[in-house]
Structure 1
């Protein structure tokens, strides 16, 4: 069957770690766009291939590609938060299939989960909110800043690039960034107090 270009893939593969090449299903849902493989590859080259002992939060988990990739590379605690019940069920099924003990799947609001994580000193927070929810980006970035440690990372995908001038009031600074098609991706660090 021919698929239109621009149609979401029906599955994505994990790229590294203990579950390398494992497939994650991609539900046909409006606005669901899994992080492209080449973007994930770049991100995990930036973060490092071995995330042993890391603690993280994937606030808008969707397919779980970012969170499962981190857990596959040794993260010891990874909370995935997703609102859509069908996606939550899919994440739980993948977690069970992979026996991903480090992963916790929670149905709920990603922004609320970020706010609840304030002061936890996480190593990484993944932010890939729905692109049509433009009002979500700033509060999510602000809450992510409060959830990561001084040496932690915040990963952001958005429909446009963010600048240091926009990020500074939120307590963040660009560490690395790139673009892949319609996706701007950013690795951010907390501003030193």
Structure 2
């Protein structure tokens, strides 16, 4: 007599969890969109160990939000504000729903805009204390974005910039951005810079 096997449980592929803070262990959803590659738990844990002391009250920009996990993790851990940018309308709708579900309130601003175009319109907005740059690996936007952040003075003095790229990509940064941390894992390299 053969045993009847249960089919394996389906994996929940489009979910991430927030690691720590007020939304600890909360799951957030993200859509199937080309190029959307959320930062995994291990790298995210490393990043937030690096910047943990800087988070309370910080103003953050997640310039290529995608899943929104970097900006939302920052808010969960005490950041005062997070601006989540993404140019994809499907991603924007998902992020908006996630922010509402978390009851993030005025601390989270979700904006449907191209990062480069949005950054060109500096206006009278305050600079950011922490900027997350984690664009889709297939894009080649960092050579335009990094000088724009520097030239438009988007980063506060002493502020931090996190850049995540494929391991074979190098990024030119301004002279007043000092690399303070770097880590490689599975074809990905993440670097943390401080404006000096």
TM-score bracket, normalised by the shorter chain, equals: 0.7 to 0.9
> Which structure dedicates a bigger proportion of its chain to helix?
1
Which structure has the larger Rg over C-alpha atoms? 2
SS of the aligned residue for 2:173 comes to helix
SS of the aligned residue for 1:167 comes to coil
User: Is residue 149 from structure 1 mapped to residue 156 from structure 2 by the alignment?
Assistant: yes
Kindly report which structure 2 residues correspond to 1:1-193, keeping only aligned pairs within 5 A, or say none: 9-48=13-52, 51-101=55-105, 102-117=107-122, 120-134=126-140, 136-145=141-150, 146-160=153-167, 162=170, 166-168=172-174, 171-190=176-195, 192=196
In structure 2, runs of 5+ residues without a counterpart are: 1-6
| Comparing 179-188 and 140-149, the one that deviates more | 140-149
Q: Which aligned segments of 4 or more residues in structure 1 are displaced greater than 3 angstroms?
A: 115-119
Instruction: Note the aligned Cα RMSD (angstroms).
Output: 2.3
Shift of 1:76: 1.3
SS of the aligned residue for 2:39 comes to coil
CA offset digits 1:26-69 (Å, max 9, x no partner): 21111110001101100000001672211011111000010100
CA offset digits 1:120-151 (Å, max 9, x no partner): 331101111111112x1122122233211111
TM-score when normalising by structure 2: 0.85
User: Retained in 1: the 8 A contact 2:87–2:113?
Assistant: yes
CA offset digits 1:8-33 (Å, max 9, x no partner): 93211000110011111121111110
Matched residue pairs, number? 184
CA gap of 1:157–1:173, structure 2 versus 1, over 3 A, is: same
